[in-house]
Amino acid sequence: MQTRPLAYTSRIPYLAGMNRRFDIPEEKDLLGLAILDYVQGRPRDLITWTTVSPPEILRTSYLFRTFEDMPPHERLALSMARGHILDVGAGSGTHSLHLQNRGHRVTALEISPRACEAMDLRGVRDIRRADFFTFDPGVRYDTVLLLMNGAGIMGTLDRAEDFFLRLHSLLAPDGQVLLHTSDISYVYYAYDIPLPLHRYYGEVEFRIKYGDICGEPFPWLYFDEHTLGRLAALYGFDSQILRYDEAGDTLIRLTKR
């Protein structure tokens, strides 16, 4: 696998010119570390778990899957993307690269500096390293992609207003959000865990272990399609379920009212 020397000058905004190569410690950027290691020829898998599910292996190679190996809801989302596209939480750049190679204008948004470097090494042309909630590009997008449970960046329902207002500011008037979410109610039933009484059951704490490094827990949010639809309507979006499967994976299209 060919990679560029580590001394190259990055084209990524906010990464070029930094005194230190990375300003986020490894233990807080394990996914990015795994992605960069994979690109640089040091593949190793991750272990992930949540407050309601046991540890399981996340194959790092899955983050580099081809279009043919993607699940049906991802292939559908990529086929429906149009215009200037924002890929939120771009990770390894798999979705961005597919769209870019098909001639689309796509911006990869990612907070992890290591993942951004990996995307740069892979040839993603337009990479923005920033937090979704503060990202202000000065342009609006025709399609915003939030795949791989992208709405989970809300963390908790308390951030719903911030999330949907940010989407309003990023989306062109006739634009669309293509969002994947998963209903995890089946996890509670599978492990005989009672549904919580004082919080939404999709609010969990997520943890990652990579090699000998165990990351800090962080909040993540898994939506059922009805709750997401109600919140979207509250903040001025129409929602349409494009695909739903028995595992609870749902692709939803949001448009401004």
Torsion of CA 58, 46, 221, 148, to 10 degrees: -50
Q: What span, in angstroms and rounded, lies between the C-alpha atoms of 198 and 222?
A: 16
Q: What span, in angstroms and rounded, lies between the C-alpha atoms of 74 and 251?
A: 8
Task: Report CA 141 to chain centroid distance, whole Å.
Answer: 17
* Cα angle: 186, vertex 189, 195; to 5 degrees: 95
- Residue holding tokens 């990996």? 118
pTM score: 0.91
Domains of the chain, earliest start first = 26-256 (3.40.50.150)
Q: For residue 12, what are the contacts with CB-CB under 8 A and spacing of at least 6?
A: 116, 117, 120, 127, 128, 129
**Amino acid present at 138:** G
Structure tokens at 157: 């329902």
Q: For residue 108, what are the contacts with CB-CB under 8 A and spacing of at least 6?
A: 87, 90, 93, 96, 119, 124, 126, 127, 128
41-55 b/e (C-beta count within 10 Å ≥ 16 → b): eeeeebebbbebbee
Number of residues that make up the chain: 257
Tell me the pLDDT of the chain (257 aa) as tens digits. Answer: 333 333 333 455 444 444 446 788 888 899 999 999 999 999 999 999 999 999 999 999 999 999 999 999 999 999 999 999 999 999 999 999 999 999 999 999 999 999 999 999 999 999 999 999 999 999 999 999 999 999 999 999 999 999 999 999 999 999 999 999 999 999 999 999 999 999 999 999 999 999 999 999 999 999 999 999 999 999 999 999 999 987 789 999 999 99
